[in-house]
Amino acid sequence: MAAYLDKLNDRQREAVVHGVGNADDVVGGPLLIIAGAGSGKTNALAHRVAHLIVNGADPRRILLMTFSRRAASEMARRVERICRQVLGDNAGVITDALAWAGTFHGIGARLLRMYAEQIGLNIDFTIHDREDSADLMNLVRHELGFSKTESRFPTKGTCLAIYSRVVNAETSIKEVLKSAYPWAINWEEQLKQLFAGYVDAKQAQNVLDYDDLLLYWAQMVSDAELAADIGGRFDHVLVDEYQDTNRLQASILMALKPGGRGLTVVGDDAQSIYSFRAATVRNILDFPKKFSPRPADVITLDRNYRSTHPILAAANGVIDLARERFTKNLWTDRQSEQRPWLVTVKDETDQANYIVEQVLAAREVGVALKQQAVLFRTSSHSGALEVELTRRNIPFVKFGGLKFLDSAHVKDLLATLRFAQNPRDRVAGFRLLQMLPGIGPHRSAKILDAITTDPEPLQALAEIPPPPKTGDDWPAFVTLLSGLRKAEGGWLSAEWEAVKHLQRPLPDDSLVLVDPPAKTVPGLRSEACHADD
């Protein structure tokens, strides 16, 4: 047995070596690893990838899909450390070839670039994030007159959420409204019009949203020939957090590996919490039965390394209430006399007050503030607690909040690069034009209308008379976009510096506000918006 497997427990080792034969055949049948909370799932998955490579699998033909880019990067680092124990200095070269590691959306975007011409997609498409998608939805919503209805029409964010669930759950608008948005059910026909207009706008502007990355990928592999070609690129497909996948992602996976050969999914049906994003626990519950004549093998990791016995007893008690589940009872060698508390409070204010009292009580018995942490589901849930901590003069540091790519100055930069690549991206152009002096929403819309139908939009932009009040900024702006468009081999430092000049400079004594973030509106810029530049 390889030395790098010595630190694994018996169940982990069984999952790592499953189906791995000799150097001529390291591809096994479908495998489901049920990994309980704190059971060393990431360690086991990284060891499985490393074990495949050490036993002859080509890392260039391994597809590893994780829940986040950070998880993919961490997985790759662990794989390299494990491989280094066997392969020495050659490990880095080999694991660098593990290039197909990322999220479903990231892998989907990469494949769509590769197969764009075969599926009739313009290879210069740009990708909208959630905020940009909501802005485009809002533009279409306004054009259809739904922003001025007598009774309030759903907001752009709600409309996008409904649309996203329809796509990812592969179901109808009526079913989504009935199950998740009953208060908006009377708007069904208008939402159908809105979504049709939204799709038309995306196609006209050559943009995809996050949902399109999965939708186009799923449609691509619905063609038997393309599915065989894409699936044939990979001998092994490994998927982490499978309990949090939606129906669209599951359909992609089954199309890539219909027989299950070389397919490994890892997850825990007891930790499925993303139903609000159209994830369905049925994907993991039904996985073994997807293959015939022999169902997928199931290996359960149930030894917990994170918690004490009383906490696991409580967790197992809750898990036992599930109507349908994989049999699993978490256990640990770690003992404790302290049992978890379930505390009921009246409202958010009482909850914040209770937490602060517990923090102060712990401090009185010698637990430093920096050794205490409060966990909450989302950034918005911390408001009442922040107020109470501040009121009592208790110092704290908050992690989370505004994502890097959501900050105003980063979105400005990305809008510049996106518009240079795809001048029909109306949302990027709308944001970008309003950074120039004297240009507001109305003039931006007129400029975009004027260039959209031209075969060479940037050339048409250069021929537009400089708008009043833009001065020297207009010709510099046009020259910048043309230069970015022509740049070969990526944007170089000179172009990067030119883009930065579009943004207003910071005073030397700017205050950095990390969280909560300021609410920004395209076209309205302040120094505070750029304070973390």
Cα angle 110-203-137, degrees, rounded to a multiple of 5: 100
Reference 519, options 397, 389, 401; nearest CA is 401
Q: Is 41 annotated as a binding residue?
A: yes
Q: Is 88 annotated as a binding residue?
A: no
Q: Is 36 annotated as a binding residue?
A: yes
Helix 130-143 with 188-205: angle, nearest 10 deg:
110
> What is the phi/psi pair of residue 354, to 5°?
-65, -45
Residue 335 CB-density burial (10 A; 0-12 exposed, 13-18 middle, 19+ buried) = exposed
d(Cα 517, Cα 216) in Å, to the nearest integer? 34
Distances (CA, A) of 397 to 350, 360, 370, 514: 21, 16, 9, 10
Cα 200 → chain centroid:
25
Helix (H, G, I), strand (E, B) or coil at 297: strand
Reference 141, options 120, 122, 155, 124; nearest CA is 155
d(Cα 246, Cα 175) in Å, to the nearest integer? 16
Q: Is 429 annotated as a binding residue?
A: no
Residues 35, 39, 45, 48, Cα dihedral to 10°: -100
Residue 208 parent element (H or E): strand 207-209
Distances (CA, A) of 212 to 157, 186, 380, 518: 17, 26, 28, 29
Residue 35 corresponds to which tokens in the numbers above? 């990994």
d(Cα 439, Cα 437) in Å, to the nearest integer? 6
Could you tell me the end-to-end alpha-carbon distance of the chain, in angstroms, rounded to an integer?
52
Q: Is 224 annotated as a binding residue?
A: no
Question: With contact defined as beta carbons under 8 Å apart, do 297 and 31 qualify?
Answer: yes
Q: What is the CA radius of gyration of the chain?
A: 26
Reference 163, options 202, 127, 124, 126; nearest CA is 202
Residue located via tokens 């910048």: 480
Q: Write down the H helix ranges in 98-233.
A: 104-115, 130-143, 156-169, 173-180, 188-205, 210-221, 224-231
Q: Is 270 annotated as a binding residue?
A: no
Residue 116 parent element (H or E): none
> What is the phi/psi pair of residue 331, to 5°?
-140, 165
Residue located via tokens 């189906």: 19
d(Cα 133, Cα 297) in Å, to the nearest integer? 41
Q: Is 37 annotated as a binding residue?
A: yes
Q: Is 35 annotated as a binding residue?
A: yes
Looking at residue 48, its amino acid is R
Residue 128 parent element (H or E): strand 126-128
**Which parts are annotated binding residues for ATP?**
35-42
Binding region: 35-42
